Structure 1
Protein backbone atom coordinates (compact mmCIF):
# COMPACT_ATOMS: atom_id res chain seq x y z
CA UNK A 1 0.00 0.00 0.00
CA UNK A 2 2.73 2.46 0.97
CA UNK A 3 4.75 1.54 -2.09
CA UNK A 4 1.75 2.08 -4.36
CA UNK A 5 1.06 5.45 -2.74
CA UNK A 6 4.69 6.48 -3.21
CA UNK A 7 4.63 5.45 -6.88
CA UNK A 8 1.40 7.40 -7.36
CA UNK A 9 2.89 10.56 -5.81
CA UNK A 10 6.07 10.21 -7.88
CA UNK A 11 3.92 9.80 -11.00
CA UNK A 12 2.00 12.96 -10.19
CA UNK A 13 5.23 14.89 -9.62
CA UNK A 14 6.67 13.68 -12.92
CA UNK A 15 3.47 14.61 -14.74
CA UNK A 16 3.39 18.08 -13.14
CA UNK A 17 7.06 18.63 -13.92
CA UNK A 18 6.59 17.49 -17.51
CA UNK A 19 3.58 19.76 -17.94
CA UNK A 20 5.47 22.71 -16.48
CA UNK A 21 8.42 22.13 -18.78
CA UNK A 22 6.07 21.76 -21.76
CA UNK A 23 4.33 25.02 -20.84
CA UNK A 24 7.58 26.93 -20.40
CA UNK A 25 8.96 25.59 -23.70
CA UNK A 26 5.81 26.77 -25.47
CA UNK A 27 5.98 30.22 -23.90
CA UNK A 28 3.09 29.92 -21.48
CA UNK A 29 3.95 31.91 -18.37
CA UNK A 30 4.55 30.16 -15.08
CA UNK A 31 2.80 31.34 -11.96
CA UNK A 32 5.06 32.28 -9.03
CA UNK A 33 3.82 29.18 -7.18
CA UNK A 34 4.89 26.91 -10.06
CA UNK A 35 8.24 28.66 -10.24
CA UNK A 36 8.71 28.12 -6.50
CA UNK A 37 7.76 24.46 -6.87
CA UNK A 38 10.26 24.00 -9.70
CA UNK A 39 12.95 25.66 -7.60
CA UNK A 40 12.23 23.26 -4.72
CA UNK A 41 12.31 20.20 -6.99
CA UNK A 42 15.39 21.17 -8.99
CA UNK A 43 17.28 22.59 -6.05
CA UNK A 44 19.31 25.81 -5.91
CA UNK A 45 21.41 26.87 -8.86
CA UNK A 46 19.09 25.66 -11.59
CA UNK A 47 17.50 29.10 -12.06
Structure 2
Protein backbone atom coordinates (compact mmCIF):
# COMPACT_ATOMS: atom_id res chain seq x y z
CA UNK A 1 0.00 0.00 0.00
CA UNK A 2 2.84 2.36 0.87
CA UNK A 3 4.39 1.73 -2.54
CA UNK A 4 1.19 2.80 -4.32
CA UNK A 5 1.01 6.01 -2.29
CA UNK A 6 4.65 6.76 -3.06
CA UNK A 7 4.05 6.32 -6.79
CA UNK A 8 0.90 8.42 -6.68
CA UNK A 9 2.79 11.13 -4.81
CA UNK A 10 5.52 11.07 -7.44
CA UNK A 11 3.00 11.43 -10.28
CA UNK A 12 1.18 14.24 -8.49
CA UNK A 13 4.47 16.08 -7.93
CA UNK A 14 5.43 15.73 -11.58
CA UNK A 15 2.00 16.89 -12.70
CA UNK A 16 2.11 19.86 -10.35
CA UNK A 17 5.57 20.84 -11.59
CA UNK A 18 4.41 20.60 -15.20
CA UNK A 19 1.35 22.73 -14.44
CA UNK A 20 3.47 25.36 -12.71
CA UNK A 21 5.87 25.41 -15.67
CA UNK A 22 2.97 25.78 -18.10
CA UNK A 23 1.44 28.63 -16.11
CA UNK A 24 4.78 30.41 -15.82
CA UNK A 25 5.39 30.10 -19.56
CA UNK A 26 1.91 31.39 -20.36
CA UNK A 27 2.34 34.32 -18.00
CA UNK A 28 5.71 35.12 -19.57
CA UNK A 29 4.18 34.94 -23.03
CA UNK A 30 1.34 37.24 -21.97
CA UNK A 31 3.80 39.79 -20.57
CA UNK A 32 6.02 39.75 -23.67
CA UNK A 33 3.00 39.97 -25.96
CA UNK A 34 1.75 42.96 -23.98
CA UNK A 35 5.14 44.64 -24.28
CA UNK A 36 5.27 43.98 -28.03
CA UNK A 37 1.76 45.34 -28.54
CA UNK A 38 2.60 48.43 -26.53
CA UNK A 39 5.76 48.99 -28.58
CA UNK A 40 3.80 48.52 -31.80
CA UNK A 41 1.14 50.99 -30.67
CA UNK A 42 3.81 53.57 -29.89
CA UNK A 43 5.28 52.94 -33.30
CA UNK A 44 1.89 53.55 -34.93
CA UNK A 45 1.34 56.79 -33.02
CA UNK A 46 4.78 58.20 -33.90
Higher Rg: 2
TM range (shorter): 0.5 to 0.7
| Root-mean-square deviation (Å) | 1.3
Q: Higher helix fraction: Structure 1 or Structure 2?
A: 2
* Structure 1 unaligned residues grouped into runs of 5+: 29-47
Runs of 4 or more, structure 1, over 3 Å off, are none
Aligned with 1:27: secondary structure? helix
Aligned residues: 28
Task: Using CA pairs under 8 Å that are at least 6 residues apart, name the structure with larger relative contact order, 1 or 2.
Answer: 1
* TM-score normalised by length of structure 1: 0.57
Q: Give the counterpart of 1:5 among 4, 10, 33.
A: 10
* Structure 2 unaligned residues grouped into runs of 5+: 1-5, 34-46
